[in-house]
């Protein structure tokens, strides 16, 4: 799971540098905190997500990982709403599939946030 997540975050940072900033290492990303998603006092506030450790944290510190993934999910839903793009989810045996704009579908992923990120990257590429 980690490699896929790393690749998706790297692609997101490349396609939308104003939304996701990479730091000194490939697997660390700073997502800007959106005032509509989370209350904060600064317009430049960001949350750091270390994708290399998400799989380990999911096994050991599930609460923190789920919180980070949910933050990613809310951020992507906010970006889709800003672009007037609908997003929906379907749940299968293989995982969650996110669909944006009735056509851009993700691969099945174990968490809706990763599926949403996969589909959102397709929207950015489109």
Per-residue confidence band for 5, with pLDDT thresholds at 50, 70 and 90: confident
Q: Which of 5, 33, 29 is nearest to 17 (CA)?
A: 29
Q: Contact at 8 Å (CB) between 116 and 3?
A: no
Number of C-alpha atoms within 13 angstroms, CB side, residue 51?
27
Give the global pTM: 0.83
Tens digit of each residue's pLDDT (9 = 90 or more) over 100-114:
987 899 999 988 999
Q: Which of 6, 8, 2 is nearest to 107 (CA)?
A: 8
For the segment 15-20, the average pLDDT, to the nearest whole number, is 86
What is the radius of gyration, based on Cα positions, of the chain?
14
Tell me how many domains the chain contains: 1
End-to-end Cα, the chain, rounded Å = 25
Domain that holds residue 28: 1-125
Tens digit of each residue's pLDDT (9 = 90 or more) over 57-111:
666 766 777 888 888 898 899 889 888 899 999 999 999 999 998 789 999 998 8
The pLDDT value given to residue 27: 53
Name residue 90's beta-bridge partners. Answer: 97
């Amino acid at each position: 799971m980690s490699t896929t997540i790393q690749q998706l975050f790297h692609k997101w940072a490349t396609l939308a540098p104003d939304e996701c900033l990479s730091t000194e290492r490939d697997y660390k990303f700073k997502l800007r905190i959106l005032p509509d998603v989370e209350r904060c006092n600064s317009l430049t506030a960001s949350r750091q997500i270390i994708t290399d450790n998400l799989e380990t944290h999911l096994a050991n510190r599930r609460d923190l990982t789920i919180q980070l993934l949910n933050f990613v999910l809310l951020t992507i839903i906010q970006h889709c709403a800003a672009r007037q793009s609908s997003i929906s989810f379907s749940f299968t045996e293989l995982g969650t599939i996110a669909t944006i704009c009735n056509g851009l579908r993700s691969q099945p992923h174990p968490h809706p946030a990763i599926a949403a990120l996969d589909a959102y990257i397709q929207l950015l590429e489109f």
